[in-house]
Structure 1
Amino acid sequence: MGNRALTLAALALAVAALSAVVVSGALVADAATATDFSQKNLAPSWAHPFGTDWMGRDMLLRTLAGLSTSVLVGLLAAGVSAAIALVLGAAAALGGRRVDAAVTWLIDLVMGVPHIVLLILVSFALGKGALGVTVGVAVTHWPSLARVVRAEILQCRQSAFVATARKLGQGPVRIATRHMLPYVLPQFIVGLILLFPHAILHEAAITFLGFGLPPEQPAIGVILSESMGYLSAGMWWLAVFPGLALIACVLLFDGAGSSLRKLVDPHSAQE
């Protein structure tokens, strides 16, 4: 019980911290773009903990606003990707051999292409920006979760309680909603949460390379990309603090997913 309580507390703490980042970033969005050329290129201090950039913008506010943007884009992309994984995984498990073969071939095809290459191609084809990066992340991150959903549904189909339900005359729709959905849902939710850090990192990566969010929109990838031209001048804080904040945000998502997995996975429930 003690370990379970600690795991639940860790999950709640991670969710609260991520919520605080998103809310605070939205609240300081306007202040993050305010320029003050009398305060430009200042090193970290009590007045500006993350320093200021070449336009006098406070880097702490920019980092919060950038994290909020990146997290929201990552959440939307991961949610769409998880929905694709659920539909295709269920279709593969329930649609017969031909559908299963087609979905398996599609999974292997998408997983055979490096994520970053496919992301850049999709984002560039859609004109980059928020739409391009969201669609790019969504259509490239579903294969692993689709495999998990397919395997869980196939295992559920072969279980004794589903066979008993069929003998009792329950139809496919009732079996799917009353038995298969509750069986698959915990693993699906864990997989959905674990998609978030991948989505956020890949969004930041392609934005950093210039194929993602536009420069005028505060995002961690934009901040890191712009900071590269000033590192040689000794302005290390422009990249170090936003980079560390991105890593911390990703670790929070990973910690939330790992904690949730411990709570819902019967194999780790006794740990």
Structure 2
Amino acid sequence: MKKRLCWNQRTKTLILLAVAVFYLAGVAVWGLVGRESALVTDFSRKNLTPSLSYLFGTDWLGRDMLARTVTGLSISIIIGVCAAAVSAVIAGLLGVAAATLGKKVDAVITWLIDLIMGIPHILLLILISFAAGKGLTGVILGVSLTHWTSLARVIRAEVLQLKESTYIRTAEKLGHSKWRIAKKHMLPHLIPQFLVGLVLLFPHAILHEASITFLGFGLSTEQPAIGVILSESMKYLVTGKWWLALFPGLMLVLTVMLFDLLGECLRKLTDPGSVHR
């Protein structure tokens, strides 16, 4: 009975993981393929309410809001993947360096982490994005350079714990090289933490990209980004055009929740004990 329960929990986790990956990959591909349709204007169909023909309605220029929303989400997903990957690499390198290169290096990296975490997050993100010229490059740099701190702390703590473990000390006494110890004993423990941390960076990256774009410090208004869509829709809400903000906002929340679900599923699969919780 216990084995059957474990198998059911694992199957459920794998199914949820597959659904999340399928949805996110589908949105990214659909948005890239249908980018042109998101820019098409037709004044004969402007301000149409949601219907079977236009599920998310149309805006003041007659643009299909479903196509614009999916394209905006695909842009956010691509930015989130790039920014999270860069941020995770920074976190991994600095976390390992802090734990292995001595107290002075550890003190400098810890001070840098505390400094970045002490500055209001959105303010630092806006400053970096603005300094880098805004746009796609500015957003990716801003998100990448502000989201690595928490993961770096986790990896640093994990390495410090591994260094004090019995089997690492035994390997050192047996004369194994540091490279062999790191490759054979430390890396298998760090990879799951790194992958889960990487995936959990995605929702933060997507939300912050949308936030600074909404405030005017991110992507340009020519691009159908979610932040641009929500920002432009604000002045039309008072006229009763609720669908311009509702559906893009809901899709953004759904995407963020699925990335969070993806990270949780990976955590359960890489930590067998958590499947029973």
Choose from 251, 257, 274 the match for 1:268.
274
Which whole-Å CA distance do the structure 2 matches of 1:136 and 1:91 have between them?
A: 23
Shift in Å, 1:257: 0.6
Secondary structure at 1:233's aligned position in 2?
coil
Cα deviation, 1:85-134, whole Å, max 9, x if unaligned, reads: 00000000001000011111111000011110000000011110000010
Cα deviation 1:19-42 (Å, max 9, x = unaligned) = 111011111101110111111111
Alignment RMSD? 0.9
The whole-number CA distance in structure 2 between the counterparts of 1:89 and 1:41 is: 51
**Counterpart check, 1:186 vs 2:192:** yes
1:46-195 superposed matches below 5 A: 46-195=52-201
Deviation at 1:270, TM superposition (A): 3.2
| TM-score, scaled relative to structure 1 | 0.98
SS in 1 for 2:274: coil
Q: Report sequence identity in percent.
A: 62
1:224 aligns with 2:230: yes
CA deviation string 1:47-91 (max 9, x = no partner): 101000111100000000000001100110011000000000000
> Hey, what's the Cα distance between the residues in 2 that align with 1:22 and 1:186?
25
Shift of 1:266: 4.3
The answer for the alignment partner of 2:4 in structure 1 is none
1:217, distance to aligned residue in structure 2 (A): 1.0
Of 243, 255, 258, the residue aligned with 1:249 is 255
Whichever residue aligns with residue 157 of structure 1, its letter is K
Aligned residue for 1:228, secondary structure, equals helix
Partners of 1:59 and 1:270 in 2: CA distance: 42
Structure 2: distance between partners of 1:270 and 1:160? 27
Letter in 2 for 1:240: L
Q: Secondary structure at the match of 1:53?
A: coil
Unaligned runs of 5+ in 1: none
Q: Deviations over 1:207-226 (max 9, x none)?
A: 00000000111110011011
Q: Is the 8 A contact 2:9 2:275 kept in 1?
A: no
8 Å contact from structure 2 (residues 27, 73) kept in 1: yes
The answer to whether the 8 Å contact 2:58/2:64 transfers is yes
Q: Structure 2 stretches of 5 or more lacking a match?
A: 1-6
Q: Structure 2: how far apart are the matches of 1:174 and 1:213?
A: 45
Other structure's SS at 1:174 match: helix
CA distance in 1, matches of 2:174, 2:18: 41
Among candidates 185, 209, 219, match of residue 215 of structure 2: 209
2:97 partner amino acid? A
- Structure 2 CA distance for aligned equivalents of residues 101 and 26 of structure 1: 44
Q: Which amino acid aligns with 1:31?
A: S
Q: Which amino acid aligns with 1:23?
A: V
The one-letter code sitting in structure 1 at the alignment partner of 2:120 is P
Give the number of aligned pairs. Answer: 271
> CA shift at 1:180, angstroms?
1.0
TM-score, reference length from structure 2: 0.96
